[in-house]
Amino acid sequence: MLLRRVEGYGIQKSWTSFDQISANLVRAVIASEDSRFCNHHGFDWNAIETARERYRSRRGRLLGASTISMQTAKNVFLWPGRDWVRKAFEAYFTVLIEIAWGKQRIMEVYLNVVEWGQAFTHPKPPPGTIFTGRPAAALTVGEAVPLAAVLPDPLNWSPLRPTRRVLARSAGIYSNMPAVFPRCARPAG
C-alpha cells in the first residue's frame, strides 16, 4: 500500500469483517484465483508442477501458481516482485498463516488487502462498500464476478468498463463457480 501511495494512488482502506462479506464474492474469488483453496494447505502442488512444466517447455504463456494464501502472505508481509528471496519469504509466511489463521481468516485478510483498483469509484467509499455502492455483504453473483475478474490487473482493468479479456475471465469464473463450495471460507448470509 505504501508503494501505491508513492506512485500517486493513495491509500483508501476500510476493514470489512468476514461475516460482512458476501458469500458470492468469496466464491467468485476462489473460482477466479484458487479453485483448490479449501483443499490445500497453502500450496497447490499440481498448479506449481503445471507452471513449472510450462516454463521448462517454453510453450504458451507462463502460468502463475500462487494460491490465495501465498498472495495474502505477499500482500500483507512482503514487497511486489518476482525474485527468489521474496518467494522464499512468501513460502515461510504462507506456512505460518495457514497454521495460525485458518482459511476464513486468510480469506478475510485477502479480501481486505488485495488491490481492487478501479472497483472503487468514490473518492471515499463508505466502509464495506465497493463499486456498486452497496454493502459488501449484499453483493450479488453478477456484481461479485466482475470484481473477481479484474484481480489479476486491478489498476488497468475495470469491472465498470470491462474489456473483452475481463468479459472472458468473467465467463470462466461463472462456469467455475458451481464447482466451488467454500465450506472452509464461507461468510454468513
Q: What is the CATH number of the domain that holds 71?
A: 1.10.3810.10
Summarize pLDDT for 135-189 with one digit per residue, the tens. Answer: 888 999 999 999 999 998 888 898 888 999 999 999 999 999 988 866 676 655 5
Summarize pLDDT for 90-149 with one digit per residue, the tens. Answer: 999 999 999 999 999 999 999 998 887 655 444 444 455 455 667 888 999 999 999 999
pLDDT at 48: 79
- C-beta atoms surrounding 40 within 10 Å: 17
Whether 189 is in a domain gets the answer no
Distances (CA, A) of 22 to 17, 131, 186: 11, 14, 9
Is the Cβ–Cβ distance between 97 and 72 less than 8 Å?
A: yes
Whether 107 is in a domain gets the answer yes
Is the Cβ–Cβ distance between 183 and 38 less than 8 Å?
A: yes
Whether 21 is in a domain gets the answer yes
Whether 186 is in a domain gets the answer no
Q: Which domain holds residue 40?
A: 2-179
Whether 43 is in a domain gets the answer yes
Whether 187 is in a domain gets the answer no
Is the Cβ–Cβ distance between 130 and 119 less than 8 Å?
A: yes
Whether 122 is in a domain gets the answer yes
Q: Which residues contact 60 (CB under 8 A, 6 or more apart)?
A: 54
Whether 77 is in a domain gets the answer yes
> Considering its fold, how many domains does the chain have in total?
1
pLDDT at 130: 55
